[in-house]
Structures are given as structure tokens and as C-alpha cells.
Amino acid sequence: MIGRALHRVFRRDIGRKLVALMIAVIVWWLLSLYVSDSREISLEVVPVRERADAEEQRLVNPAFYVVVPEGLIVRSVNAKQVRVTVRGLRSEVARMERELYAIHQIPAGAVGAENEKNHAIRLSESMFRIERGLPSASEINFDPLEFSLLLAQEARRTFDLAAGNVTITGTPREGHMFDSETCRIRPSQVELVGPRAIVDAYMAVPTDLRLEPVDITGKAFSVTRQVGLDREKVHPSVTMLTQNELVEVTVDVFPEPVARRLLRVPVEYNGEELLVTRNLRVAEATATLDVIVHGPPDSLDKYTDVDLRKAIKLVYDWSATTVEQGRDHVSFFGNGLPGVTITDVDGRTLEIVFRLDRIETSPATIPDQPDGATSGDSP
């Protein structure tokens, strides 16, 4: 009896049953092909400061937003993207591809009293949303299933930028030079923001904080550039709170100085009358000096040697001396000679050699008195 029943079920009208089965398989295949779909959606991991920022940005850039509370900063993320594989109705999958996002809020005490700490995020379906609610998918998978952020205590420090923070590359036009120590930075005082340990390390060794290089190749005049932090040398989590995170750096480029040699330039002495009050007089003093005048071409080339000698004034004031014999520096005054310096022929500071003598004074004499008279007697 059972055999006959099975025979009727499976063998009776076998042709029509096979056709029906084939039609069902084709319909299923067509439904699977045209109605359902599977996609892999990549979402960038984006740290933000406020949840409102995430809600606003996700409208134009669906991503995995991590809300970092005030006082903490993200040093690094071990996954730049999360990949979400979804399966479901084609229309729903297409919608998720356009709209899928997630927002994860990091708790304020995630780091505790430590300087920095890893915060792990395990992905789940409940984290993800689309424009009008939860995504509708028959299957959803994640890669990676978990990722982590290295969080650190945030620090803000006032930092003084100086020439030591500037990197200069290239060489100026032939016949020109620059002075790396005279670079000008505006603003020179900025606020650094970043992980506390890293910012404090820059505060301890300020020259480790490097600005983007300023190229002076072939330049004959001062070069001014807007530069930010050199991201090849400065930790990426450190920023400057300036407009567009930039400062203005000016490097002065100027002609190489020329040198003019002048012989027997007279030395002018002042204050000799003050020596007398100290019972001193000048016995010997250098009368002239051989000098080298250094300066920019536009300051020196317009002078003949004769005119240059007239423009130079070497002065020594006797009120400066405290000894009666020795050497001392000479003051230099240049009339209409900007940027000019002066040395002796060996490149050293100008000095005079002098010797002072004591002024000999005779003892006071007492007039002769008559015999037996005293100074107290009346005439």
C-alpha cells in the first residue's frame, strides 16, 4: 500500500511534475537574479567632536562616525575603513549602498587617568542606520568585526615659533646669501593642540617642531611663504590653531657683502680732559688703524676710497678706560653706511694700544718767616 502511494506521488504524471519543478527553479533563479542582491559597502572611519557634526556630515558622506568627547584626541585608528556586506532585496541593497552609516559615541572616561589608551569598537547590526531607520537586510556581515582607536588626553599649549623651526631649502641666486637666524614668522606665537605626551615633548625640545620647507632656489630678494607643519616630521595628530593651520614665514635674501681695505684711518680720542682730573695724561695711543670695511654692494660701491674714509669715524672715549696701560675696543660710526661693519685686516675687532702716565705735581712751599716769628704772629 505504501509503495503504491509513493508510486502515485512521484511517478504519476511525472512529465508535468518535472516541468513544474523546472518552472519553479527558473522562477526562483529569476527572483534571485532580479529581486535580491548582495553588495560590499565600504565606510570610512571618521572621528568627529560632536554628534551633531556626524548627523550633518553623513547626509553628504555616509561613513562610520566616531564621536570623540572633549578632552580626548584620536592618535591613530587601526582600520581606516569598515566593509559591510549586505544581502537582501535589490532596492533595499541599493538604498543601503547610498545611505548606510553608523555613529558610535566614545564615553568621556574612556582613557581614565592614563595619558593614552586603546578603545575597541565591536561592530553589530544595531549600530547602522539608513535615512529613515534601520536597514532591511536578510544578511549583514562586517570586516573587520572589531577595530580600535588609540585615544589620548588632549593638551593645548602656547608655543613660540622661532627661526629654529624653519626649514630652508635651495640656494639663492649667485652672488646672494641668506641668514637662517633672521627668519620672521607671523604669528610667532601659536597654540598647539594634540596628545598631551607629544605636545609636551615639543615644548621640551622646541626645534623638533618643524614647519614646511621654504624654497629660496634662484631668489635674489626676500621670500615670503604661507606654510604649515611639516607632516613628514611632525606627528599627524598635532595641529596649530591658526587660520587654515598656516603661518607666514619670511626669509631675507640679500647680496653677498663686499670688502674694502683702507689704510691708516685716524682714530679720534674724546674725554682727555677727564684724565687730568684723575692726575693722568696720555703718553702713547694708536693714531691710525688699517681696516677692512664689510657691507652690501649698494652701500659701499657708491663710495670712492677717499669718500669712504670721510664717511668712517673711529672713536675712543678715555672715560671708558680703567687701566693705565693696555688695549681696548674702538667705537665705529658710519655716516650713511647701512649694514656696514668694520674689522682690522685680520678680521678681528678694532683695538687701540695705549699708555697713560701720572702727572707729577710739586709739593706746596711755605714762605720764609722772620726769625722768631710764627704763623700765628701779627705783623
34-153: CATH, from 1.20.1200.10, 2.60.40.1760, 2.170.120.30, 3.40.50.2300 = 2.170.120.30
Is the alpha carbon torsion for 267, 273, 274, 275 positive or negative?
A: positive
Find, among 210, 222, 197, 194, the residue nearest to 161 by Cα: 210
Q: What is the pLDDT of residue 116?
A: 87
- In sign, the C-alpha dihedral spanning 232, 234, 235, 240 is negative
Element housing 298 (H / E): helix 297-300
Four-residue CA torsion sign, 177, 179, 180, 182:
negative
What single-letter amino acid sits at 371?
D
- The CA distance from 47 to 53, in Å, is 10
Q: What is the pLDDT along the chain (379 residues), one digit of tens a residue?
A: 565 655 555 556 676 666 676 777 666 665 555 556 788 999 999 999 999 999 999 999 999 999 999 899 998 899 999 999 998 888 888 888 899 999 999 998 888 888 889 999 999 999 999 987 778 777 899 999 999 999 999 999 999 999 999 999 999 998 889 999 999 999 999 999 999 989 999 999 999 999 999 999 999 999 999 999 999 999 988 999 999 999 999 999 988 888 999 999 999 999 999 899 889 999 999 999 999 999 888 888 888 999 999 899 999 999 888 899 999 999 999 887 888 899 999 999 999 999 999 988 655 544 554 554 443 443 3
In the chain, domain spans: 34-153, 161-255, 258-358
Amino acid at the residue 21:
L
Which H/E stretch holds residue 311? helix 305-311
β-pairing, 258-270 with 312-317? parallel
Pairwise CA distance, residues 211 & 166, whole Å? 6
Opening angle at CA 12, ends 7 and 13, nearest 5: 160
The CATH number that domain 258-358 falls under is: 2.170.120.30
The per-residue pLDDT for 379 is 33
**Count of all residues that appear for the chain in the document:** 379
Instruction: Please name the helix (run of DSSP H) or strand (run of DSSP E) that holds residue 51, with its range, or none.
Output: helix 51-57
C-beta separation of 284 from 322 below 8 A: no
Q: In the prediction, which pLDDT does 318 show?
A: 93
**pTM for the whole thing?**
0.57
- The residue type found at 349 is T
Strand bridging mode 253-255 / 176-178: antiparallel
Cβ atoms of residues 342 and 267 within 8 Å: no
The answer to whether the CB of 157 falls within 8 A of the CB of 196 is no
Looking at residue 368, its pLDDT comes to 53
112 φψ region: left (φ > 0), alpha (ψ -120 to 50), beta (else): left
What is the spatial distance between Cα 160 and Cα 158, in angstroms, rounded to a whole number? Answer: 7
**Fold match between 34-153 and 161-255?**
yes
Name the residue among 345, 349, 351 with its Cα closest to residue 291. 345
Q: What CATH number belongs to 161-255?
A: 2.170.120
The CA-atom distances, in angstroms, between 365 and each of 102, 360, 362, 368 are 113, 16, 9, 9
Task: Give the whole-angstrom CA distance, residue 374 versus residue 370.
Answer: 8
How many CB atoms within 10 Å of residue 172? 21
- Show the cell assigned to 245: 593651520
- Bridge partner residues of 5 (DSSP): none
